[in-house]
Amino acid sequence: MKIYSMIGSLVVIFALISYTIGFIMEQRKKIVNSRVLLFFTLGVVLDISATTLMIMGSSKGMLTFHGLLGYSSLLGMCTDTFLLWRHNVKNGSEVKVSRGLNTYSLVAYGWWVLAFITGGLMVALRYS
């Protein structure tokens, strides 16, 4: 495994931790406070960094099944983070999120975790 891919794999684990903390906080309290925004934004920054590193370390190019799954899940999380920021700016941190936004966060996070798991499984199968 190339060094860029190894570092990218480590960085994406930190993205998972950050997304998960923000997601759990948002889903439990159903509000978007500064801590939720911090963890989602940090998750996006880490995810973009990890994706860039994994592309640099890949010998298969950018257009693979896992790549497309990863790009779409990153887009979903970027969109979710944008929507959460917009909700916070428009409504403040004390107004509960709508059911639709709460559901979108659930779907986007679930899709991202699916991409994370399939990436790990593909690496494990390749090296077994």
Can you say whether residue 95 is alpha, beta or left, with left for phi > 0 and alpha for psi between -120 and 50 degrees?
A: beta
pLDDT score, position 61: 65
pTM score, two decimals?
A: 0.91
Residue 63: pLDDT band (50, 70, 90) is confident
48, 63, 72, 115, 125 from 121: Cα distances, Å: 20, 18, 18, 10, 6
Cα 128 to Cα 125: distance, rounded to the nearest angstrom: 5
pLDDT score, position 103: 96
pLDDT in tens, 11-48: 999 999 999 999 999 999 999 999 999 999 999 999 99
